Amino acid sequence: MAEEMTYVNSDGLRLDGRKVDELREIKITPSVLSRAEGSCYMEWGQNKVLVGVYGPREALPQHIQDPTKALVSFIYRMATFSVSERKNPRPGRREIEISKVCGEALEAAIFLERFPNTTIDIYTHIFDSNAGTRVTALAAAAVALADAGIPMKDMVSSCAVGRAGGNIVLDLNKYEEDAPDAVDMPMAIMPRKKEVVLLQMDGLMEKKQWFEAFNLGVQGCMSVYEMQKDALKKRYLEIEKDAMQEIEKAGAKMDKAAKEGEPQ
């Protein structure tokens, strides 16, 4: 019989050194694309994602327009080099499904009715991966939407939770996702409204374990929410600083011009 793998050691640490309720390191950088209305580059452990938001802009062809609200188009794509075996560049069933569920999660948060006949296009591209790419793409997309100034009822914050080797663990890596008894549960919430906007589950769990996992997942999403807010606040402070510098420069120029125009 195959030897049973240990996913959490006697000190309560996982194979990558994390505690069971610990997220991988997350770095969020908004406003990285000049052509996009809003954008975000995010690293979540080994996962690397770039998101560009375009719109709201006229939905074309016209027959797809909805006079009552904006349409949301969410595109999730993995680069051919983002996985261990070259990925076919053609979007597969998995990418189409992820695009659909992530788009619907964000639709719940956007004030769509304010932008009739338009489309909001969200492009998310994965450049490196190690499990949890859909929740990385979704969290980054929510930051990019805020960066684009698109009015939202709430942020969308995401993370995955599940089981590996009998342990309920937050933010599974690929090794844990491949455990024989693995359960992977990607989820996303609107943190202030306390609404679940994405909940998927790969594998089976008993009800008690499911609640334990769900509560841990909510806790993970709340930590991601804090990081999303911090990244956006930092960005707005930079914008404010740049604007103040521009105002000071313009003021100095006007003072100089006024002095030069004064009679001697």
Sites of contact with ligand CDP (CB under 6 A): 83-84, 87, 94, 129-134, 174, 177, 184, 186
User: What are the C-alpha distances in Å from 118 to residues 113, 148, 154?
Assistant: 10, 15, 21
Min dist CB 135 to ligand CDP, Å, is 6
DSSP structural state of residue 156: -
**Closer of 55 and 132 to ligand CDP (Cβ):** 132
**Closer of 10 and 84 to ligand CDP (Cβ):** 84
d(CA 189, CA 198): 7
Min dist CB 171 to ligand CDP, Å, is 10
Min dist CB 230 to ligand CDP, Å, is 24
d(CA 42, CA 23): 14
Q: Sheet containing 38-44: give its strands across.
A: 26-30, 38-44, 47-58, 118-128, 71-78
User: What are the C-alpha distances in Å from 217 to residues 89, 107, 157, 166?
Assistant: 32, 21, 11, 16
Residue bearing tokens 């680069």: 79
**Closer of 14 and 235 to ligand CDP (Cβ):** 14
Min dist CB 32 to ligand CDP, Å, is 21
d(CA 131, CA 243): 40
Min dist CB 177 to ligand CDP, Å, is 6
**Closer of 117 and 130 to ligand CDP (Cβ):** 130
**Closer of 71 and 143 to ligand CDP (Cβ):** 143
**Closer of 31 and 136 to ligand CDP (Cβ):** 136
DSSP structural state of residue 118: E
Token pair recorded at residue 260? 């030069």
